[in-house]
Amino acid sequence: MSEHNLQSQTVQTTGHAWDGDLQEFNNPLPTWWVFTFYVTIVFSIVYWFIYPSWPIGKGFLAGLSSISYVNKAGETVSTHWNTRALLMEGLNKTDEMQKPYFSKVAANDFSQIAKDPELSGFVLSAGKVLFTDNCAPCHQQGGQGKVGFFPNLTDDDWLYGGSFEKIHQSITGGRHGYMPAFGEVLNAAEIDALANYVASLSGIAHDSGKAASGKTLFTSETAACYYCHSASGAGRQDLGAPNLTDKIWLWANVPAAEKPEDKVAAIRSTIAAGVNKGVMPAWGGRLSPEQIKVLTVYVHELGGGK
């Protein structure tokens, strides 16, 4: 209470008293605060004149400030200041800074880019940024992929080819993995025989009797596996048909199965259900040709480029 009493002696009151002794303090704002407030009002008026501000009917005051940028056709466009024009001007500056690198990327072919120390350094850093944003959600940050979903980009195994040209084609146009479902065409014994044969191709423990009949089926016209996977099972990159003779798996999750019979079962279910996934979007319309070129070299250099 003593503090309150002290205050009542030093602070002004409004001068009005209710019920004889009920008074109201009057604490005016500090002068510096009031002055700052007036300055902000003056500032806002100046701002109205410089930048787009007041709506008038179907239009608005465009402001006195102007801005110019260079458009795609190379013409200088001058307009009243607005954020879209500001972006265009900003992009002019970024383009200017990136141009020395991107024009070199455009002028050189893939292997030259990979060999040139300065350019490959640029590709490594710019490519990493592009890869992280656009590719990593599926192929994962290191390009290691995800069995059952998206292929590993760091190994030697390529579904559609690992040359610069093939990687470039995959990124630009996208891909769509497809294998027919054989569950309705073949009976369970036939699928089991095929699965055992496919297991034998990459050295997985299998039933050799079943594998032998599977081999016949593999090259027969009934199953016609050979048409896409080739007679040896080495696959065909022009069709995106995987090599079955290596130990690398994408659709059948063989690595996750511990027991040999589970590995064969994983192959069996893929044969029965087929594959209608492995969709890679086309990046041709989304990224610029130079960006795709940078990504091509980056992916090629991840380890498995041919």
Partner 1 sequence: MRINFKHEWIETNIGLMLVLTMLAISVGGLVEIAPLFFIDKTVEKVEGVNVRPYTPLELRGRDIYVREGCYTCHSQMIRPFVDEKLRYGHYSLAAESQYDHPFQWGSKRTGPDLARVGGKYSNEWHVQHLIAPRSMVPESVMPNYPWLMQLLDQSDIADRMKALRAVGVPYSLTEAEREANVKNFGETVAAELHIPDAKKNLVDQANLGNYDGNKAGVSEMDALVAYLQVLGTMVDFTKVNEDDLVRSR
Residue reference for tokens 């992916």: 299
State the number of binding residues for partner 1 (CB under 8 A). Answer: 37
> What is the rounded CA–CA span in Å between residue 88 and residue 75?
12
- The Cα–Cα gap between 283 and 289 comes to 9
- Shortest distance in whole angstroms from residue 281 CB to partner 1: 6
Pairwise CA distance, residues 263 & 256, whole Å:
8
Three state DSSP letters for 186-244: CCHHHHHHHHHHHHHHCCCCCCHHHHHHHHHHHCCCCCCCHHHHCCCCCCECCCCECCC
| Binding of residue 74 to partner 1 (CB under 8 A) | no
SS3 282: coil
What is the per-residue binding string for partner 1 in 18-57, x denoting contact by CB under 8 A?
A: ----------------------------------x--x-x
Of residues 67 and 265, the one with the C-beta less far from partner 1: 67
Q: How far is the CB of 138 from partner 1 (least distance, A)?
A: 5
Q: Of 117-176, which residues contact partner 1 (CB under 8 A)? A: 133-134, 136-138, 140-141, 146, 149-150
Q: How far apart are CA 268 and CA 277, in angstroms?
A: 17
Residue 115 engages partner 1 in binding (rule: CB under 8 A): no
| Of the residues 34, 39, 91, 205, which one makes contact with partner 1 according to CB under 8 A | 91
- Beta-bridge partners for 279: 176
As measured in angstroms, the least distance from the Cβ of 65 to partner 1 is 13
Of 281, 290, 301, 304, the residue at the interface with partner 1 (CB under 8 A) is 281
Residues in contact with partner 1 by CB under 8 A are 14, 52, 55, 57-60, 71-72, 77, 79, 82-88, 90-91, 94, 133-134, 136-138, 140-141, 146, 149-150, 277, 279-281, 285-286
